[in-house]
Amino acid sequence: MNITDHEAPLDDEQIDGYIKIDRYNPAKINRIATHYQDILQQLGEDPSRQGLLKTPERVAKALQYLTHGYDLDPAEILRSAMFEEDYSQMVVVKDIEVYSMCEHHLLPFFGKAHVAYIPNGHIVGLSKIPRVVDAFARRLQVQERLTNEIRDCIQETLSPVGVAVVIECKHLCMAMRGIQKQNSVTTTSAFTGAFAQERTRAEFLRLITASLD
Ligand SMILES: Nc1nc2c(ncn2[C@@H]2O[C@H](COP(=O)(O)OP(=O)(O)OP(=O)(O)O)[C@@H](O)[C@H]2O)c(=O)[nH]1
Ligand SMILES: [Zn+2]
């Protein structure tokens, strides 16, 4: 590895393997920050007090980060690490942390995703499954669409025998406001192909609830 490259600061951008995420687009940050200055004022705050001086810019950067999935191509992420392999059993990646933003309130929802597929001549680099989850989660979402988008992307790109996705999340819009239910968890699921069969689906559900201990 080239040492200079290795030590180069990644300050305002991240090289994400194959896709450069222009995380902090300065023009966009400025535009969003201007709005937040006004929002702070509307909330009865003084945007010129010391603690808030940089807040509009911080919020703008945070929002750009929380929605950086728009800059990613999930299908390309999968295509970048597909390998021919004669393995025909279920591959399960479970307990993938999910952080997303509800499109109704712009509040976080978070939890876990469990993803499985049954290869059809091709396997995919394992890390690419959580990367696909992130690429869709880091957008404004509803949990149902997030679940379907992950399923469809894997099915269309990898053409496996079947795909299964289960997502379990807590929604802050239901906890810190609104109905204020602190412990409710929403579960969504999406299946294709072989996972329509009761036996296959049951094996997946057993594997995602099984513990390693
Ligand atoms: N189906 C679905 N609904 C969601 C998701 N995230 C948030 N919501 C819901 O979106 C709905 C928006 O409903 P509205 O009545 O327009 O908004 P609201 O007045 O803020 O509703 P309350 O949250 O009930 O106070 C709420 O019921 C939220 O719970 C999600 O991922 N999936
Ligand atoms: Zn919400």
In tens, the pLDDT along 53-106 reads 999 999 999 999 999 999 999 999 999 999 999 999 999 999 999 999 999 999
Domain boundaries, the chain: 14-70, 83-209
Q: Average pLDDT, stretch 122-144?
A: 98
Which residue, judged by its Cα, is nearest atom 17 of ligand 1? Answer: 104
Q: What pLDDT band is residue 212 in, cutting at 50, 70 and 90?
A: confident
- Per the annotation, does 153 bind a ligand? no
Q: What pLDDT band is residue 23 in, cutting at 50, 70 and 90?
A: low
pLDDT for 156 equals 98
- For 17, the 3-state DSSP assignment is coil
What homologous superfamily does CATH list for 14-70?
A: GTP cyclohydrolase I, N-terminal domain (1.10.286.10)
- For ligand 1, whether the C-beta of 171 sits within 6 Å is yes
Equal fold, 14-70 vs 83-209 = no
Q: Look at residue 2 and tell me whether its pLDDT is greater than 50.
A: no
Q: Look at residue 20 and tell me whether its pLDDT is greater than 80.
A: no
SS3 content of the chain, % helix, strand, coil (to 5): 45, 25, 30
pLDDT for 11 equals 41
SS3 readout for 95-163: EEEEEEEECCCCCEEEEEEEEEEECCCEEECCCHHHHHHHHHHCCEECHHHHHHHHHHHHHHHHCCCEE
Which residue, judged by its Cα, is nearest atom 13 of ligand 1? Answer: 104
| Candidate of 101, 146, 149, 173 to mutate for ligand 1, largest count of ligand atoms within 8 Å of Cβ | 173
What percentage of the chain exceeds 90 in pLDDT?
85
If one counts every other C-beta atom within 10 angstroms of the C-beta of residue 10, the result is 8
- How many residues appear in the chain? 213
Cα 72 from Cα 76, distance rounded (Å)? 8
pLDDT for 211 equals 80
For residues 59 and 210, which has the higher predicted lDDT (pLDDT)?
59
Name the CATH code of domain 83-209 (choices 3.40.50.300, 3.30.1130.10, 3.40.640.10, 1.10.3260.10).
3.30.1130.10
Active-site residue, 143 included: yes
- For ligand 1, whether the C-beta of 142 sits within 6 Å is yes
pLDDT for 33 equals 98
What percentage of the chain exceeds 70 in pLDDT?
89
